[in-house]
Structure 1
């Protein structure tokens, strides 16, 4: 797959199947749309194209909105997951004044037709494009049916609940990894680098890898202790992860991500890692003493180890 951060200045390809959307998380609902786009393109022997955005539209309409920790999949991850579904070209354009005020008619004629030679448009059940969200499957079929075949993909559901990025975010904030995993179609993960902390975990008998996120826009799940595993240098190591501000010890003002790895002694400082969260064990809480905290950590570790045989760990 080839990806770009701007539209080409000149016509790009002769014929294509296109889908448009933010696709944050590239969850099972998104995959349904993207897979159909690829299927149609391959059947016709033409290119499949995704037009997405390098910033969330909400950040344009509400510039005062705090974007930190707001995305399921920052650019690097979104590119990876879209590519895995077989898309040929991905355009991650800025959602700016031009795009926000571009009428659907001009979006279709000046971009989709003129630059990409669109023959088919595939959209999610509730997806719209163009100024005031006037662009839709019905709009295309009404005005451009002689040039473009437009398709609407049915909603994807999990146990009668619509799968959407906003719903997944709500479950993540609650620490519901079961629902999150089921809707994403994969375990939720955090990319980052192992950095030095204050080594208090080691003093308590449970050394931890302190992880600094690669992208500050990545959504962090709700505070608490999680069953997890870490990928580093091609190895997979299980452990327990605490996400929080460590109220018993320091009451940090910032959220820390610390993982105690089972039976692992290697030095991984400054290593790039991916942390997968599998199940929330408990909420973060303040304990009355360090011995009480140590006893709880021991219980968390024992519980986590007892669950590992029941949970699939991706290689």
Structure 2
């Protein structure tokens, strides 16, 4: 797959199948849309294209809505997951004043037809594009049916809930990682680097890998203790992760991400790692003493080890 951060200035592709959307999380609903796009392209022997955005449209319309810690999949992750679905070209354009006010007709004629030679358009059931969200499958069928075949993809559901990025975000914030994972179709993960912390975990007898996020836009799960797995140089190591402010020890003002790995002694400082989260086992709390904290961590580890046979990474 080739990806770009802006539209080409000249015609780029002769014929293509295109889908458009933010695709935050690239969840099972998104995968359903992209799969249709890829299938049509392969059947016709033409290119498949995803047009997405490098910033969330909501951050444009509401300047107070900062992107920090708000995305299920920042750019690097989105590129990774969309590529895994077999797309030929991905365009991650800025959602700016030009795009926000571009009429649907101009989007179709000046971009989709002129630059990409669009043959087919595939959209999710509720997806719209163009100024005031005028562009839709119905709009294309009404005005451009002689040039473009337009398809609407039905909703994807799990347990009667419509899969959506906003719902998955709610589950992640709540700490309901197992439900979020089901809707994503893979284990929610955090990418980052192992950095030095206060070394309090080592003093307590439970050394931890402190993870500094690679991208500040990444959504951090709700505070608490999670069954987890840390991939180091491609090798998975299981453990327990605390996401929180460590109220018993330091009462940090920032959120730390610390993972205690089972039977692991290697020095991995400055290593790039990926942390997979499977299940939240308890909320973070302040204990009356360090001894109480040590006893609880021991219980967390014992419980997590009892669950490992049921756990596996899906990516």
Deviation at 1:314, TM superposition (A): 5.2
Cα 1:143–1:70 shift into 2, 3 Å:
same
**CA-CA distance at 1:313 after TM superposition:** 3.6
Equivalent residues in 2 for 1:44-193, closer than 5 Å: 44-193=44-193
CA separation in 2, counterparts of 1:67 and 1:49? 25
Describe the superposition over 1:200-224 as per-residue Cα deviations: whole angstroms up to 9, x where unpaired: 0000000000000000000000000
- 3-state DSSP of counterpart to 1:276: strand
Q: What does 1:284-303 correspond to in 2, within 5 Å? A: 284-303=284-303
Distance 1:66 1:300 in 2: 35
How far 1:76 sits from its partner (Å)? 0.3
Tell whether 2:255 aligns with 1:242. Answer: no
Query: Are the aligned partners of 2:5 and 2:91 in contact in 1 as well (CA < 8 Å)?
Result: yes
Quote how far apart the aligned CAs of 1:190 are.
0.1
The alignment's C-alpha RMSD in Å is 0.8
Runs of 4+ residues deviating >6 angstroms: none
Contact 2:187 2:313 in 1 (8 A): no
In the alignment, is the contact (CA less than 8 A) between 2:26 and 2:81 conserved in 1? yes
2:259 aligns to what? 259
Q: 5 Å matches for 1:197-276?
A: 197-276=197-276
Say if 2:194 is the partner of 1:194.
yes
Q: Deviations over 1:215-253 (max 9, x none)?
A: 000000000000000001121100000000000111100
Aligned partner of 2:283 in structure 1 is 283
Structure 2 counterpart SS, 1:292? helix
How far is the alpha carbon of 1:66 from its aligned partner? Answer: 2.3
Question: 1:273 aligns to what SS in structure 2?
Answer: strand
Q: Per the alignment, in what secondary structure is the counterpart of residue 268 of structure 1? A: coil
CA–CA distance in 2 between the matches of 1:216 and 1:13? 34
Q: Give TM-score, length-normalised by structure 2.
A: 0.99
C-alpha deviation, 1:257, in angstroms: 0.1
Gaps of 5+ in 1: none
Task: Tell me the distance in 1 between the aligned counterparts of 2:18 and 2:24.
Answer: 17
CA distance in 1, matches of 2:212, 2:137: 42
Give the distance between the partners of 1:104 and 1:270, measured in 2 at CA.
47
The offset of 1:14, in angstroms, is 0.6
